Amino acid sequence: MYQPKKIIVVTGHFGSGKTNFSASLALALAAKGEKVTVVDFDLVNPYFRTADFKDAFEKRGITLRAPDYANTNVDIPSVQFDLGGLAAAEGYLIIDVGGDEDGAVALGRYSHVLNSYAETGELDMLAVVSFRRYLTRTAEEAEQYLRGIERASRMKLTHLINNTNLGMETTAEMIAESIPLCEALSARMDLPVACVTVPDFIEPPAEIPANQVMRVSVVVRLPWLPKSEAVE
């Protein structure tokens, strides 16, 4: 299973499952007794964001920091917290970044701070990829998007997360089919595959090396469902 560094920046294409991965990782670390802070750094998308899990995080001792007006109808993104200070604090810091280049532009504002941690080996920048999503169905398409994220953020990706899924309709077969695609992307970008996520309601395909399997729950729910359907 993926062993995170102190600071974990999570990025990728819209719909790749960044938020589900970020929330699952935070909950897994907290379950081990680790101190965890999650930063909702999505200044673009009003839905499927880590701010949706405020109550669930509080119950598990996870600190959540989100932009002003997150989860409201006010379209005025405003970050009023010290990301550098959060990075220097004790415990793990998970930064859930908005999708594509637009979302990564805001991260570039802090690239000088975060890159200093990358240089000392204390930071991972993860690219979450789902080969079942529009415009990232091939290694070539996925690389195009991820290169754009690197340019916009002024940071370098360190690992790939194969998060190929269709939510609750995910099957072992579709995950297995994604393995050669992710291997091709890994070769094209010279990036290791940190893990392959497998929903906890199916068995891991035999094609995935045991040390790459990361079991996750589907914690993100559609925005029109009642809150009771979200993780508790």
SS3 at position 28: helix
CA dihedral sign, ordered 28, 39, 53, 182: negative
Pull the structure tokens for residue 28.
């897994």
For residue 179, what is the enclosing H or E element? helix 172-189
Give the residue among 169, 220, 200, 201 at the shortest CA–CA distance from 14: 220
Predicted TM-score (pTM) of this structure:
0.88
**φ, ψ of residue 167 in degrees (nearest 5):** 60, -130
Kindly give the confidence (pLDDT) of every residue in the chain, 232 residues in length, as a single tens digit, with 9 standing for 90 and above.
678 999 999 999 888 999 899 999 999 999 999 999 999 887 665 545 676 788 889 999 999 998 755 444 444 455 566 888 999 999 999 999 987 787 888 889 899 999 999 999 999 999 999 999 988 999 999 999 999 999 999 999 999 999 999 988 999 999 999 999 999 999 999 999 999 999 999 999 999 999 999 999 876 654 444 443 445 5
Cβ within 8 Å of residue 59, ≥6 positions away: 232
Tokens of 185: 């992307």
Q: What is the pLDDT of residues 109-146, one digit of tens each?
A: 899 999 999 999 999 999 999 999 988 999 999 999 99
Bridge-based pairing of strands 36-41 and 213-216 is: unpaired
Residue of 147, 127, 143 lying closest to 135 (CA atoms): 143
- Rounded to whole angstroms, what are the CA distances from 61 to 17, 87, 225? 23, 18, 25
Q: Measuring CA to CA, which residue among 99, 108, 222, 85 is closest to residue 156?
A: 108
CATH 3.30.565.10 correct for 7-68+81-221: no
CA distances from 67 to 96, 99, 115, 208 (A): 12, 16, 22, 37
Cα pseudo-dihedral 89, 94, 99, 100, rounded to 10? 70
Structure tokens at 20: 């589900």
Q: What 8-state DSSP symbol labels residue 166?
A: B
| Residues composing the chain | 232
